[in-house]
Amino acid sequence: MSLFAETAFSSGLVTLEVLEGHIALVTLNRPLARNAINAEMANAIEAIVSRTEADHNVWVVVLTGTGPDVFCAGADLKEVAAGRATSLFTSNGFAGFVDADRRKPWIAAVNGKALAGGCEIALACDLVIAAENASFGLPEVSRGVLAAAGGLFRLPRALPRNIAIEMAITGDSIDAARGIELGLVNRMVPHQMLVEEALTLASRITRNAPIAVRESLHIIRQVPDLDTDALRELTRRCRDRVAISEDYQEGPRAFVEKRPPRWTGC
Within this chain, do residues 100 and 219 fall inside the same structural domain, yes or no? no
pLDDT of residue 80: 87
Question: Within a domain: residue 126?
Answer: yes
Within this chain, do residues 134 and 49 fall inside the same structural domain, yes or no? yes
pLDDT of residue 6: 60
DSSP 142: G
Q: Taking the model in full, what pTM does it have?
A: 0.94
**18-37 mean pLDDT:** 96
Alpha-carbon distance 144 to 15, whole Å? 32
> What is the CATH number for 67?
3.90.226.10
**8-20 mean pLDDT:** 88
- Tens digit of each residue's pLDDT (9 = 90 or more) over 143-196: 888 999 999 999 999 999 999 999 999 999 999 999 999 999 999 999 999 999
Question: Within a domain: residue 266?
Answer: no
Which is the catalytic residue, given 140, 196, 197, 215? 140
Within this chain, do residues 201 and 214 fall inside the same structural domain, yes or no? no
Domain boundary residue among 205, 230, 245? 205
Residues present in the chain in total = 266
Question: Within a domain: residue 265?
Answer: no
Within this chain, do residues 41 and 142 fall inside the same structural domain, yes or no? yes
Alpha-carbon distance 228 to 195, whole Å? 37
- Tens digit of each residue's pLDDT (9 = 90 or more) over 102-142: 999 999 999 999 999 999 999 999 999 999 999 999 999 99
The tally of domains found in the chain comes to 2
Residue ranges making up the domain that contains 236: 210-256
Are 110 and 122 a contacting pair, CB within 8 Å? yes
Question: Within a domain: residue 262?
Answer: no
Question: Within a domain: residue 264?
Answer: no
pLDDT of residue 237: 97
Within this chain, do residues 157 and 250 fall inside the same structural domain, yes or no? no
Question: Within a domain: residue 32?
Answer: yes
Question: Within a domain: residue 263?
Answer: no
- Tens digit of each residue's pLDDT (9 = 90 or more) over 218-247: 999 999 999 999 999 999 999 999 999 999
Domain boundary residue among 190, 205, 220? 205
pLDDT of residue 11: 76
Which is the catalytic residue, given 120, 132, 233, 250? 120
Within this chain, do residues 23 and 138 fall inside the same structural domain, yes or no? yes
Within this chain, do residues 22 and 61 fall inside the same structural domain, yes or no? yes
Question: Within a domain: residue 168?
Answer: yes
Which pairs with CB-CB distance under 8 Å and at least 24 residues apart come from 236-243?
239/215, 241/211, 241/215, 242/209, 242/211, 242/212, 242/215
* 120 is annotated as an active-site residue: yes
* 215 is annotated as an active-site residue: no
